[in-house]
Chain A
Amino acid sequence: METYTYVNIFETKGLEYLLLMSFLVLLVLFVRYLREPGGKD
């Protein structure tokens, strides 16, 4: 019936931080893309 096993709920933390870093890089690229060429801000 019920079994007792260790469940690591933070298994994906490494991946999550990778995602975060790629997000930050992509965000910078994205924001730079959004700044129209020669546009006035």
Chain B
Amino acid sequence: MNRRDFLKVTGVAGMALTGTDAKGSESSSPSPEFYGVLVDTTRCIGCRACEKACATEHDFPVPDIANDGALETQRDTSETAWTVVNRFDTSEGEVFVKKQCMHCWQPACTAACLTNAMYKTQEGPVIWRSRKCMGCRFCMVSCPFDIPKFEYHEWNPKIQKCNFCFDRLQEGKKPACVEACPTDALMFGMKRDLMEIARVRIYNHPERYVHKIYGEHEVGGTGWLYLSAVPFEEVGFRTDLGTTPYPEYTRDFLYGVPLVLFGLPALLYGMNQMTGSDNED
């Protein structure tokens, strides 16, 4: 089977998949399925409406997107900007990429948090709860995407990171950035559906995209997914993060702890008894 035939077949499969999509959204049972957002960087025009909407929604200083020339430099998200758009000059021309928390399926940050302040909700958003956090910044050390940011100049600092507009989601609304995007570069939905849509786009336009969906498997799968026209390394993504969910890296150790606690004291006592002479104690 050559490539063209393959694509024809999968095109049909794609139709079938969109069919299940429609059916899937019919069932309104509160299934524990996670929300996600598909970011199609080929559609992004770098208008930064999402940044503005995010700042407005979460009471941050609203960027003057028309005049501040922020695209001239590479920016990272910060304690006052949960999301930023960066421009990359690539072989395919300018590419704009939005950055924010990936809302990992098995987040490193929540596994790291010793107070459960970082919390993976049933719906998928990873949120931060100020009443619990003790500001240890272990979440920052652990997040493979370096997303949580800390307010270093506050006496009562907070961790700042995208919370997927959790409040809006609970009201049945879309995230602010998705709603603000004028080009449908951002698409909100269940990750399962978004994966299918992403695949269909790649199948229908194999020349327009690299054949990879960033976030499908990265760090065990993320809620936010990316499509790109150029290899992801070229537009600021790390492709060396692996597909293992990050909490798995500490699993063996944490598993071993009760084992040691069961076994070692008894062993030590036994050793002690073996070394003793009879008349002692």
Contacts and interface: CB of A to CB of B under 8 A. Distances in A.
Interface string A1-20: 11000000000000000000
Q: Is the interface of B mostly helix, strand, loop or mixed?
A: loop
Interface of B: 210-212, 231
A2 B233 CA distance: 12
Contacts, number: 6
6 contacts: A1-B210, A1-B211, A1-B212, A1-B231, A2-B211, A2-B212
Contacts of A2: 211-212
Interface of A: 1-2
Q: Is the interface of A mostly helix, strand, loop or mixed?
A: loop
A9 to B, nearest CB: 13
List the 6 closest A-B pairs by CB distance, nearest first: A1-B212, A1-B211, A1-B210, A2-B212, A1-B231, A2-B211
Contacts of B211: 1-2
A2 B240 CA distance: 12
B49 to A, nearest CB: 30
A1 B210 CA distance: 7
Contacts of A1: 210-212, 231
Nearest to B210: A1
A2 B211 CA distance: 8
B207 to A, nearest CB: 14
Nearest to A2: B212
Contacts of B212: 1-2
B202 to A, nearest CB: 11
